[in-house]
């Protein structure tokens, strides 16, 4: 199965990730998506109305053979607790834009506060895209982008974003460079900030805690 979207590389990696989690193996993402396809003047079918979908209930779901994992809030908090004891191998990647990570930009969700998950490393999903903003960089460049941001591709990585969409772009990049132990925090920042404010620290607050030696008081 080939996945694509109308923005290039944006939501299609999330479909790729989801299908892999359901045990599908032969799943690909069309690099550049529909924009690059049209730019190359490849054939396009005319728009047509999609008939109503028929849903099938799946009973006893689970146990799908997949190399990837979906992380819930409970597991994320457990990883965070290990991070503070320097016992966790998982690296946490925040794939949101840098401005949202630092708090310089407003969150697009009315109920979401500014900040980021403790110990997370900001690797904006856009760093994996070419200058055209719609296609992936070559594998070698993906690797260097990850290393430049402090990511060890030999260790497990957990990624999140606002709602778990563009986090899959980062995971696709990691998969491209050969990283195998990957997981996605499905709830994203919007769930975390609403359900787990105890662990949330703003960027400026963390800097202040570090400089004053009071960091442990807030965690």
- Please report which confidence band the pLDDT of residue 61 belongs to, taking 50, 70 and 90 as the band edges: low
Pairing verdict, β 182-185 and 69-71: parallel
- The pLDDT of residue 163 is above 50: yes
**CB-based contact 148:137 (threshold 8 Å):** no
Specify burial of residue 96 (Cβ count, 10 A radius: 0-12, 13-18, 19+): buried
- Please report which confidence band the pLDDT of residue 204 belongs to, taking 50, 70 and 90 as the band edges: very low
Distances (CA, A) of 12 to 33, 125, 182: 8, 13, 17
pLDDT digits (tens, 9 = 90+) for 17-55: 999 988 888 999 999 999 999 999 999 998 887 777 666
What is the average per-residue pLDDT within 171-192? 94
Please tell me the predicted confidence (pLDDT) of residue 15: 96
What is the average per-residue pLDDT within 123-134? 97
Please tell me the predicted confidence (pLDDT) of residue 18: 92
CA dihedral 136, 141, 143, 144 (to 10 degrees): -140
How many Å apart are CA 161 and CA 97, to the nearest integer?
Answer: 9
**CB-based contact 219:84 (threshold 8 Å):** yes
Q: What is the pTM of this model?
A: 0.83
How many Å apart are CA 32 and CA 26, to the nearest integer?
Answer: 19
10 compared with 48, residue with greater pLDDT: 10
- The pLDDT of residue 162 is above 90: yes
The H or E element containing residue 93 is strand 91-94
pLDDT digits (tens, 9 = 90+) for 65-112: 677 888 999 899 888 888 766 666 789 999 999 999 999 999 888 778
How many Å apart are CA 76 and CA 69, to the nearest integer?
Answer: 12
Q: Where are the domains of the chain?
A: 2-39, 69-218
176 backbone dihedrals φ, ψ, rounded to 5°? -65, -35
- Residue 74's CB is within 10 A of a number of other CB atoms, namely 8
| Cβ neighbours of residue 147 closer than 8 Å, sequence gap 6 or more | 153
Write down the architecture of domain 69-218 according to CATH: 3-Layer(aba) Sandwich (3.40)
- The pLDDT of residue 181 is above 80: yes
- The pLDDT of residue 210 is above 70: no
Please tell me the predicted confidence (pLDDT) of residue 80: 86
The per-residue pLDDT of the chain, averaged, comes to 84
CA dihedral 80, 84, 89, 93 (to 10 degrees): 50
- Please report which confidence band the pLDDT of residue 218 belongs to, taking 50, 70 and 90 as the band edges: very low
- The pLDDT of residue 60 is above 70: no
The H or E element containing residue 158 is strand 157-160
How many Å apart are CA 154 and CA 30, to the nearest integer?
Answer: 26
């Amino acid at each position: 199965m080939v996945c694509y979207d109308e923005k290039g590389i944006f939501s299609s990696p999330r479909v790729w990730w989801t299908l892999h989690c359901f045990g599908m193996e032969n799943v690909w993402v069309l690099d550049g998506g529909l924009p690059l396809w049209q730019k190359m003047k490849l054939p396009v079918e005319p728009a047509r109305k999609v008939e109503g979908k028929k849903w099938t209930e799946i009973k006893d779901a689970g146990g799908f053979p997949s190399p990837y994992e979906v992380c819930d809030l409970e597991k994320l908090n457990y990883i965070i607790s290990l991070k503070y004891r320097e016992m966790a191998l998982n690296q946490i990647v925040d794939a949101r834009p840098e401005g949202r990570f630092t708090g310089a930009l407003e969150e697009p969700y009315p109920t979401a506060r500014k900040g980021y998950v403790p110990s997370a490393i900001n690797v904006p999903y856009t760093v994996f895209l070419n200058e055209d903003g719609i296609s992936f960089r070559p594998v070698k460049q993906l690797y260097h982008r990850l290393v430049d941001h402090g990511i060890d591709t030999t260790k497990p990585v957990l990624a999140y974003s606002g709602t778990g969409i563009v986090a899959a772009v980062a995971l696709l990049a990691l998969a491209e460079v050969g990283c195998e132990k990957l997981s996605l925090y499905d709830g994203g920042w919007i769930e975390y900030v609403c359900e787990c404010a105890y662990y949330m620290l703003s960027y400026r607050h963390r800097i202040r805690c570090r400089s004053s030696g009071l960091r442990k008081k807030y965690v």
